[in-house]
Amino acid sequence: MVKEMSISESVENLIGKAQNGNDLSRKEIIRLLSVPTEYSPVLFDAADKVRKEQMGDEIFLRGIIEFSNHCERNCLYCGLRKDNSKLSRYRMTEDEIIATAQEIKQSGVPTVVLQSGEDSFYKPDTICLLIERIRKETDLIITLSIGERTLNDYKAFQQAGANRYLLKHETASVELYKYLRPGCNWDDRLQCLRWLKELGFETGTGNMVGLPGQTTEILADDLLVMKNMDADMLGIGPFISHPDTPLAGIDNDDLDLELRVIAAARLITRDTNIPATTALATLHPRGRLQALQAGANVVMPDFTPEIYKTRYDIYPGRRDVGSALEIISKLEKDFYSIGRTINYSVGNRQTKREHVAF
Ligand code: SAM
Ligand code: SF4
């Protein structure tokens, strides 16, 4: 007679299968995301081991500059949406952006992420000049996170010296995407991601966890999108409700689910760069550190000057206050408390793979 497996045996087998690098079916990913809560620590521990084996123990930093909070889109979840008339809008001057990039350089962080709403005030030439100045005056590695653009724009950004691009697919459900991003099209988003990959950008995608209408099946599909497009970076963050948006008052405090998605992403994609996001630090004071112990290996401190930072109001309660040096020194202490240190090199996934290949 075949002995039936206990729940604990079946969960441990599944986590072990993922930890050993075996491909998981959609059904198995759904099961992984749904394991009883008492098994969450086993899942996080497996992801932590794979993170250590694939990416090492050091944490990579990317410094963010949020240079404009103008946006022409109307995403239901985001405080920067066009119809939020309460928001005081700003655009940093080119010199302010360069000065902030220099501060990032001086603090030892090797890469900058330039992020904004979808703001057509910035013609491709303007962005290219900015990229060229940052390259020339700071030599920082540049990631752009400025939304959907044309193939020619992406080509121009690359020729000007941008190396990486972050464009989250936000949700793998076409219906949910259409509802949450009025006037936008999921296929267009995916096309942009394909162009970026084909051009050779280190490409980041990702999702929000805890969106209204989201199911475990949709989260499993998010993970499959990340794996199938061979993304280099994965921005997985909790949805946090903003009071001045149509999704006001929709609570999301499920830190455990957020950590499970990060852990599953590490087990499924192996050697990707996964940030412990600012949104996680906002959801829970120790959220970022817990993510770093459940598969994440990157932190993206926000270096936007204080006068603008509070106005980049995607969702309420964002952290990371103080000067660049103060922020870094606080992070160093936090990382030390979990036995980890900062790696001040660029942490390039493609270069790492080339090294491995040779
Ligand atoms: N406009 C660009 C875009 O949408 O790709 C880049 C800036 S946008 C503010 C950066 C990210 O913020 C989005 O990819 C989205 O996942 C996240 N975001 C927006 N509103 C959010 C919210 N209420 N909670 C959590 N994340 C949010
Ligand atoms: Fe604009 Fe991006 Fe916010 Fe959507 S998520 S409203 S595109 S800034």
Could you read off the pLDDT of 188-230 as tens digits, one per residue? 999 999 999 999 999 999 999 999 999 999 999 999 999 999 9
pLDDT, averaged across the chain:
94
What mean pLDDT comes out for the span 246-257?
94
Contact status, residue 282 vs residue 237, Cβ threshold 8 Å: no
Q: Which of helix, strand or coil describes residue 96?
A: helix
Q: Is the C-alpha dihedral spanning 219, 224, 227, 229 positive or negative?
A: negative
What Cα–Cα distance (Å) separates residue 98 from each residue in 22, 86, 161?
A: 45, 28, 15
User: pLDDT at residue 350 above 60?
Assistant: no
Residue to probe by mutation, ligand 2, list 64, 72, 74, 80, most atoms within 8 Å of CB: 80
- How far, in whole angstroms, is CA 342 from its chain's centroid? 18
Q: Output the pLDDT for position 314.
A: 96
User: Which H or E element spans position 9?
Assistant: helix 7-19
Cα–ligand 2 centroid distance for 71 (angstroms): 6
CA of 280 to the centre of ligand 1 (A): 13
**Confidence class for position 171, pLDDT limits 50, 70, 90:** very high
- Predicted TM-score (pTM) of the model is 0.95
> How far is the CA of 252 from the CAs of 231, 241, 301, in angstroms?
26, 7, 23
Between CA 103 and CA 77 the distance in angstroms is: 31
Over the Cα atoms of the chain, what is R_g?
Answer: 20
